Amino acid sequence: MKTLLRLLGMSVLDFLGYVGGLALLFVDGLWWMTIGPFRNKGRIRRGETFYQMEHLGVRSFGIVSLVIFFVGIILAFQMAYVLKSLGVTVYVANITGVAMTREMAPLLVAMVMTGFSGAAITAEIGTMVVSEEVLALETSALNPIRFLVVPRVMAAMLIMPFVTLIATYIGIFGGFFVGNVLLGIEAEKYIHRTLDALKYRDVVTGLLKAEAFGILVAVIACHEGFRVTGGAEGVGRATTNSVVRSIIAIIICDMLFTAFFFYFL
């Protein structure tokens, strides 16, 4: 019993330490994004940030669209299954619209990003640690946070809301496809109902979540990358850790946000 408690205590401490590490990294990154450049400590690497935005946003776009379109279809079918028995199949439009905007699009975009970009960031930074590139940066008075973390986290912060917004449209279109083509709801009616159901705050909360998830994925990916020890095997382990921890973090964060929005917004 005592050892069990000790193990529990230790894992709680580990968890808190990990979250603390993430928070420190993020605050450090924010400092380099906002205050650092004005104190003449070193500019933001704009070219690299754009490159990362392209990597995160543009190149992941195909897979994001594909996934979210199919999820839209699935969602509409599942809703129709329940709604049909109540005789209100037409509500598919309302529900798909709201669910997509508030929940599905931010969540799925973040999940795809984790696998697509988070893993890549961890592997890249991890390899740099192993090959002494990060040490070379430090010893040439170049701060690795400014150099590596800022472009990636900033790119995620800038691009995630846009990707999510577009993904929301595509997801709703997936629902529309089912509703209109397969269930026979008139196009005009479907669109009208979707727009009717959506409130301004649905869009805002969805995008807020997207922003938070984007930061989480990028910060965790960088953090795991810097923690790599022990060669190629270490890089592999860190990449797995990065994906697993990002997914857990996203889900926890999503839950907290959703509960908060439910009660306070």
Partner 1 sequence: MTTRKKKTDEVVVDVNDLHVTYDGRPILAGIQLKVFRGEILVIMGGSGCGKSTLLRTIIGAETPSRGAVKILGRDLLVLDEDGRNELRKRFAILFQSGALYNSMSVGENVALPLREHTDLDDEIIRIMVKMKLELVGLRDFEALMPAQISGGMKKRVGLARALALDPEIIFYDEPGAGLDPIVAGVIDKLIMDLSGKLGVTSIVVTHEMGSAFRIADRMVMLYEGHVVAEGTPQEIRASSNPLVRQFIHGEPDGPIPLRRSKVDYEEDLLA
Q: Which residues contact 67 (CB under 8 A, 6 or more apart)?
A: 108, 112
Question: Of 128, 159, 183, 238, which one interacts with partner 1 (CB under 8 A)?
Answer: 128
| 136 touching partner 1, by CB under 8 A | yes
CB 205, CB 261: distance < 8 Å:
yes
When the beta carbons of 144 and 179 are compared against partner 1, the nearer one is: 144
Smallest separation, CB 127 to partner 1 (Å): 8
Smallest separation, CB 48 to partner 1 (Å): 9
| 140 touching partner 1, by CB under 8 A | yes
Q: Among 110-118, 126-134, 177-185, 214-222, which window interacts with partner 1 (CB under 8 A)?
A: 126-134
End-to-end CA distance of the chain: 43
Question: Of 86, 139, 184, 262, which one interacts with partner 1 (CB under 8 A)?
Answer: 139
Question: Which x/- pattern, by CB under 8 A, does the window 75-114 give for partner 1?
Answer: ----------------------------------------
Question: Of 14, 54, 138, 233, which one interacts with partner 1 (CB under 8 A)?
Answer: 138
| 135 touching partner 1, by CB under 8 A | yes
How many residues belong to the site for partner 1 (CB under 8 A)? Answer: 15
Question: Of 42, 115, 234, 236, which one interacts with partner 1 (CB under 8 A)?
Answer: 42
If DSSP codes are grouped into helix, strand and coil, which group holds residue 54? helix
5 to 15, 16, 17, 88: CA distances (angstroms): 15, 16, 18, 52
Q: Which two tokens stand for residue 163?
A: 């990707």
Which segments within the chain are labelled E, that is strand? none
d(CA 171, CA 71): 7
Q: Which residues contact 189 (CB under 8 A, 6 or more apart)?
A: 90, 93
Give the residue among 32, 251, 37, 241 at the shortest CA–CA distance from 121: 241
Contact positions vs partner 1 (CB under 8 A) = 42, 124, 127-128, 131-133, 135-142
